Amino acid sequence: MSLLEVKNLTISFGGLRAVDDFNIDIKRGQLYGLIGPNGAGKTTVFNLLTGVYKPDEGIIKLEDKDITGLKTIDINKAGIARTFQNIRLFKDLTVLDNVKVGLHNHYRYSTIEGIFRLPKYYKVEKAMDERAMELLKVFELDGEADYLASNLPYGKQRKLEIARALATEPRLLLLDEPAAGMNPNETGELMDTIRFVRDKFDMTILLIEHDMKLVSGICEALTVLNFGRILAQGQTSTVLNDPQVITAYLGE
């Protein structure tokens, strides 16, 4: 059954059709890759899916529910979480608090209970701490829970962003160039992490990536974008051997 179904998604900025007639169908539990040369419109697709931009045309369906045109926050509540190409952590909060912000909508107590430190505050905060530490452990960040997020090394910041996204309990996780700026060792580690997240959290993942080793290593299906249009779509091995795709990447 498809988890995310996008039909005819289109957006223009001025005269430029940044994304033109974009279609995608992602099955539950799939690891799906979105690739393409720079400026092809990949991040714009992410911004459309997460409600940062409103599409001019097209329908976005998550589990058969129409989420087209919803606000970012409501799309997150509907079950899509994302990371960013340029890392966007809450840099002056601790690592633990970053994840706890992700848990915000799933663990509740009122402002009054928070200010007056009523029993529910302690109970819920304890549950949040435990859940956050669980998530941090998955990414081997539990030792740094007390650090400020900005003090983490680059690779760990990427991981923390994924942990924070997972804390919102999404059904679809969007990763925007998770391996950007990583060395081959870190990339290898990241591939394991992504696979692990998919299996452990039963997650469906759509990722943008330039690192072909990562893409061919973990993605089960691919969509290639070029100048805002779909160039090729399908099984990873088939797509990567498509002459059109090779041309787009390497030139004639």
Partner 1 sequence: MKKMKMTKTAKNNFVTYFIVLIAYILVQILLKSGHMSSLMEGLLVPLCIYVMLAVSLNLTVGILGELSLGHAGFMCVGAFSGAFFSKCMDGAMPDGIRFFIALLIGAAVAGVFGIVIGIPVLRLKGDYLAIVTLAFGEIIKNLVNVLYIGKDNNGFHFSMKDSISLHLGEEGQVIVNGAQGITGTPHDASFTAGVLLIFISLFIILNLINSRDGRAIMSIRDNRIAAESTGINITKYKLMAFSISAAIAGVAGVLYAHNLSTLTALPKNFGYNMSIMILVFVVLGGIGNIRGSIISAVILTLLPELLRGLSDYRMLIYAIVLIAMMLFNWSPKAIEWKDKLKEKYFSKIPFRKEKEVK
Binding site for partner 1 (CB under 8 A): 50, 52, 72-73, 76-77, 81-82, 84, 88-94, 96-97, 100-102, 104-105, 107-109, 111, 114-117, 121, 124-125, 128-130, 133, 142, 145-146, 164-165, 167-168
Between 99 and 218, name the residue whose CB sits nearer to partner 1: 99
Between 92 and 252, name the residue whose CB sits nearer to partner 1: 92
| Nearest distance from C-beta of residue 150 to partner 1, angstroms | 9
| Nearest distance from C-beta of residue 145 to partner 1, angstroms | 6
| Nearest distance from C-beta of residue 114 to partner 1, angstroms | 3
Between 180 and 230, name the residue whose CB sits nearer to partner 1: 180
CB neighbour class for 200 (10 Å; exposed up to 12, middle 13-18, buried from 19)? exposed
| Nearest distance from C-beta of residue 157 to partner 1, angstroms | 12
Q: How many CB atoms lie within 10 A of CB 170?
A: 23
Task: Give the end-to-end CA distance of the chain in Å, rounded to a whole number.
Answer: 39
Between 100 and 156, name the residue whose CB sits nearer to partner 1: 100
Q: How far is CA 252 from CA 68, 117, 229, 249, in A?
A: 38, 67, 19, 9
Q: How far is CA 187 from CA 145, 180, 210, 212, 217, in A?
A: 23, 9, 12, 11, 11
